[in-house]
């Protein structure tokens, strides 16, 4: 994936925007079409203590509610750490929103004040589809885009 080009596009589209849902919708759409191995790309939003609910996404249906205590998305929200999972079957307590998902990358999304807004979830039907570079480049871009959100 060409992260430099993706960052330019996101910066141009999101410049000056502070609405969390608008930013999530734009980011998810652009990333889904830019990443060749992401079959589901979207956000789960923090809507209550310990609860994530589906946000803007691209792909087939997703789980509607995910508690912080379950799955890859819950682990990212609970720990505040990126979850790079090359084989979802090897992840304890993985939630199978889709039976075809083989690998996953989930990143916490915080605003500039440090408040957790949600998580960005990328699912792939390809094993080991996501890399450390994906995690690092997306984390940096999320920090910049959502700095003034929420």
| Tens digit of each residue's pLDDT (9 = 90 or more) over 24-46 | 999 999 999 999 999 999 999 99
Q: What is the mean pLDDT of residues 131-143?
A: 97
Query: HEC string of the chain?
Result: CCHHHHHHHHHHHHCCCCCHHHHHHHHHHHHHHHCCCCCEEEEEEEEECCEEEEEEEECCCCCCEEECCCHHHHHHHHHCCCEEECCHHHCCCCCCCCCCCCEEEEEEEECCCCCEEEEEEEEECCCCCCCHHHHHHHHHHHHHHCCCCC
Domain range list for the chain = 3-145
pTM (two decimals): 0.94
Residues forming a β-bridge with 120: 43, 107
Whether residue 132 has pLDDT greater than 80: yes
pLDDT recorded at residue 1: 92
Q: What is the CATH number of domain 3-145?
A: 3.30.450.40
| Tens digit of each residue's pLDDT (9 = 90 or more) over 100-127 | 888 999 999 999 999 999 999 999 999 9
Calculate the average pLDDT of the chain: 94
| Tens digit of each residue's pLDDT (9 = 90 or more) over 61-114 | 888 999 999 999 999 999 999 999 999 888 877 777 777 888 999 999 999 999
């Amino acid at each position: 994936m060409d992260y430099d080009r993706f960052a330019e596009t996101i910066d141009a589209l999101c410049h000056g925007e502070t609405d969390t849902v608008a930013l999530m919708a734009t980011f998810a759409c652009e990333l889904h079409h830019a990443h060749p191995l992401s079959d589901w790309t979207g956000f789960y939003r923090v809507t209550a203590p310990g609860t994530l609910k589906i946000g803007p996404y691209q792909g087939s249906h997703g789980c509607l509610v995910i508690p912080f205590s379950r799955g890859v998305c819950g682990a990212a929200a609970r720990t505040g750490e990126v979850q790079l999972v090359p084989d979802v079957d090897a992840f304890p307590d993985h939630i199978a929103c889709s039976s075809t998902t083989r690998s996953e990358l989930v990143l916490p999304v915080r605003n500039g004040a440090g408040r957790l807004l949600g998580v960005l979830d990328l699912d792939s039907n390809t094993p080991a589809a996501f890399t450390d570079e994906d995690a690092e480049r997306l984390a940096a871009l999320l920090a910049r885009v959502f700095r003034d959100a929420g």
